[in-house]
Amino acid sequence: MTQLSYIIATRNRLPFLKINLERLIGQLQSGEEIVVVDGDSTDGAKEYLQQLYSDGKIHQFVSEPDKNQAHAWNKALLMAKGMIIKKLIDDDVYCFSAIRKCCDLMLQNSTIDICISDVLNGDLANPEQVNAASRLPQFEVWRSGKTKAFTFSDVSMLIRRSALSYIGLYDTQFRMLDWEYSLRASYMKANIAYYTGFNALAVHTPGNVTSGTDEATREQEAKIGRIKYGYPGDRDEISRYSELKIWAGKSLAKLSRKETAAHTAPDEITADLEDIYSMYYRRLEERDRAADGKFIF
């Protein structure tokens, strides 16, 4: 029986994908699977993934055009066979030991629908600076019944596959899809557990989907969230919340000394990326151990 599915949706992100996916493959355990949905990449990612699939290193794989980001992630959610599903964003960093702690909690407590955690944030424009972010205060207020909904990034989220029949899939009309999903899940009173350690480090990178989301779209989606879910907003209103994943167009001193995009040739940036991401993985694991995280549910 598959206990944990790691799902990845990607398109034209080969340099990031190779670093993070190969680390996951090296740490995969029995009862876990890797599911990858590729949006018909043209940068070599499709061929790279096909080879991994042919070699049996990833368990499910499809490459075809997607209508949007939510469409791709929904395909991956529907393909997953695990009792618990962990979304992995191709350019972010994950602590797999912490993820397994969260997974084990959910397997031992069948009523828990979702588990989230504190998160670290990094930026390739300044890779040495890593900051912690927590939604625990907002979770506690929601848990006490004082608010109808709260927001959290799905970078740290694990979800029970059977809970999808109640909470649903990602809304394909939303660009800030994790923002809407967190509001919906909490508004519908999904059973959410909170891990006070760190299972993810969100990295600001060039060319990601959120970086292309304009202010008008964010404001419109925030308005819908307030109306539909009775969300009053907080200091992490969508315009601020989305900044965690917005690329500001700065030059990447350690990568190319010029503005770069998702199609940058792998041999131009891979070496520096590997050094930076190795540092990110090390700091995330160290921070999670130091946090000695506890579960609240």
The DSSP element (H or E) to which 93 belongs, if any, is strand 93-94
Least confident of 56-60, 96-100, 189-193, 247-251: 247-251
Give the whole-angstrom CA distance, residue 113 versus residue 212: 31
Would you state the pLDDT for residue 148?
A: 95
Percent of the chain with pLDDT over 70: 85
Give the whole-angstrom CA distance, residue 179 versus residue 237: 10
| CA 172 to the chain's CA centroid | 17
Confidence of residue 166 (pLDDT cuts 50, 70, 90): very high
Q: Which CATH number goes with the domain that contains 220? A: 3.90.550.10
Give the DSSP letter string of 187-236.
Answer: HTT--EEEEEEEEEEEEE-TT-TGGG--HHHHHHHHHHHHHHH-----TT
Domain that holds residue 270: 4-296
pLDDT tens digits, one per residue of 121-158: 999 989 999 999 999 999 999 999 999 999 999 999 99
Stronger pLDDT, 78 or 243, i.e. the higher one: 78
Would you state the pLDDT for residue 211?
A: 54
> With contact defined as beta carbons under 8 Å apart, do 261 and 207 qualify?
yes
Domain count, the chain: 1
Least confident of 169-173, 205-209, 214-218, 254-258: 254-258
Q: At residue 78, what is the residue type?
A: L
pLDDT tens digits, one per residue of 225-235: 888 998 887 65
Alpha-helical (H) ranges within the chain are: 14-27, 45-54, 69-79, 96-108, 136-143, 164-167, 177-187, 215-229, 238-241, 266-291
Least confident of 36-45, 68-77, 183-192, 249-258: 249-258
> With contact defined as beta carbons under 8 Å apart, do 79 and 61 qualify?
no
